[in-house]
Amino acid sequence: MNVDAKTRRDRIERRIRTELEVGYAELAADFDVSEMTIRRDVEALETLGVVRRVVGGAIATKGLKGPDTEPSFATRVADAAEEKRHIADVVADLLGRNETVILDSGSTALAVAQSLRGRGLGLTVVTPSLLVALELVDEPETTVVLTGGELRPGELSLIGPTTEDTLSHYNCDTYVMGVAGIDGDRGISDYHQAESRVKHAASKRADRVIVAADKSKLGRVTFVSIAALAEIDLIVTDGPVDHPSLVAARGAGVDVVCVAQNSDRAESR
């Protein structure tokens, strides 16, 4: 099988994601290359967080998840906190004065709410998150609209038919969505079924959908599908510009903004 390195690595990634474990010798034989070449391919995929090398081969690091594997909110707030702050600042920069914004629940959305403080944008913020609402409720010139619905313990997010129905009555400029997974083949996904239905409903009520996600979400597929990549307008992440999931997103017509690591700058590709 004579293919270039990028194509070979994409195929190796898909295979690992399907089979969860592969061997160097088997891959070398299948692609008709040396084991050293396969080792270099796997090393490159490991730097992207797709696989973990083991003796004789590699295993998937981000396989399919069940609904019971969602980390706690406190854990997610602590994970990649600095990266989320940089992502949040870029997302806040993308919002215009007097916009109507649906701001999601979750740790990254909360970081966006914190970044919005003091900007004086005069936003109307519709949110299913009590934490986001509390962050912005006393912000001058900001109107906060809670969706209503069933309160989810731990997350302090609102879910259920009431939440979805409330969102259906609004027409908004931008939806800022937090997700658990962004995958080139399977699109945008999350852990929790009811949360995912709220995200899906919100995505239908905004002219622009921005997905804000740190690099750990890239290449990950979680339990519930939310949307295909083509249904997203923009991804803001700190992941590498050549990550296969971001390459696939750009191929689907999605704008991608990569936040430079250790910097407040961002690069649009």
Taking the CA atoms of residue 111, residue 117, residue 122 and residue 125 in that order, the dihedral angle to the nearest 10 degrees is 30
The pLDDT, as a whole number, for residue 78 is 62
| Beta carbons within 10 angstroms of residue 65's beta carbon | 18
Question: What CATH number was assigned to the domain covering residues 67-268?
Answer: 3.40.50.1360
Between 192 and 118, the more confident residue is: 118
- What amino acid occupies position 83? E
* Average pLDDT in the chain: 87
| Beta carbons within 10 angstroms of residue 54's beta carbon | 11
Pairing of strands 206-212, 187-190: unpaired
| Beta carbons within 10 angstroms of residue 149's beta carbon | 20
The pLDDT, as a whole number, for residue 179 is 94
DSSP for residue 255:
E
The pLDDT, as a whole number, for residue 148 is 93
Question: What's the first-to-final CA gap in the chain, in angstroms?
Answer: 31
Tell me the H-state helices in the chain. 5-19, 24-31, 35-47, 73-78, 81-93, 107-116, 130-136, 161-167, 193-203, 244-251
> Tokens 């690099």 — which residue?
215
Minimum mean pLDDT range among 69-73, 110-114, 204-208, 228-232: 69-73
Q: What is the pTM of this model?
A: 0.72
CA distance 149 to 161: 7
Q: What is the CATH class of 5-60?
A: mainly alpha
User: What is the domain partition of the chain in residue ranges?
Assistant: 5-60, 67-268
The pLDDT, as a whole number, for residue 176 is 98
Between 59 and 143, the more confident residue is: 143
* 123: Cβ contacts below 8 Å, ≥ 6 apart: 95, 98, 99, 100, 101, 116, 141, 142, 143
| Beta carbons within 10 angstroms of residue 4's beta carbon | 8
Highest mean predicted confidence (pLDDT) among 40-44, 78-82, 212-216: 212-216
3-state secondary structure of 151: strand
Over residues 141-161, the mean pLDDT reads 93
Say yes or no to pLDDT of 263 above 60: no
* Rg of the chain on CA atoms, in Å: 19
Taking the CA atoms of residue 153, residue 71, residue 218 and residue 11 in that order, the dihedral angle to the nearest 10 degrees is -120
What the block records as the tokens of 210 is 């921005």
Cα angle vertex 110, ends 46, 210, to 5°? 65
Among 91, 96, 110, which residue's Cα sits nearest to residue 237? 91
